[in-house]
Amino acid sequence: MSTDDLIADLHHSPVVAIDRDTLRELIDAADVLREDDTHLAGWIRVLAVGDSILVQEETPKGEVLVRRMPSRESAERFVDLRMQSYDRMWDGCGCKVDYYAEWSDDVCNLGTNSPSARRRRGASRSRP
């Protein structure tokens, strides 16, 4: 799949799965605005391709997913919230991430937490 085909597909689908060859082409064609190692599910990146802002992430099963974002700020917020989910997972909260959930700036559908994790949400924790 070419980068142009991927961008076109993202106009019709909130999340598109790509192969590793397409990922390399995408990274080569994009400006990498942010890149974080999740330590649990590969890398998550904010990319700019022309006037499109994209988030690329991996699932723990190795699937490579790309989603189009309405703005860089929205993409940064998505990555921040995803990284918070990974921090909670690292702490053993039992969280599950729904990688195919549709993103909205108004509603966070990034994952679910166990009741105990929801109670602890405000507590500050750091990784060992």
DSSP the chain: --HHHHHHHHTT-S-EEE-HHHHHHHHHHSEEEEEEE-SSSSEEEEEEETTEEEEEEE-TT--EEEEEES-HHHHHHHHHHHHHHHHHHHTT---EE-TTPPP-SSS--SEE--HHHHHHTTS-----
pLDDT of residue 40: 82
The CATH fold of domain 3-120: Double Stranded RNA Binding Domain (3.30.160)
User: pTM score, two decimals?
Assistant: 0.76
pLDDT (tens place) for every residue of the chain, 128 residues total: 888 899 999 999 989 999 999 999 999 999 999 999 988 888 999 999 999 999 999 988 899 999 999 999 999 999 998 888 888 877 677 777 778 777 766 544 444 443 333 333 444 333 34
pLDDT at 18: 95
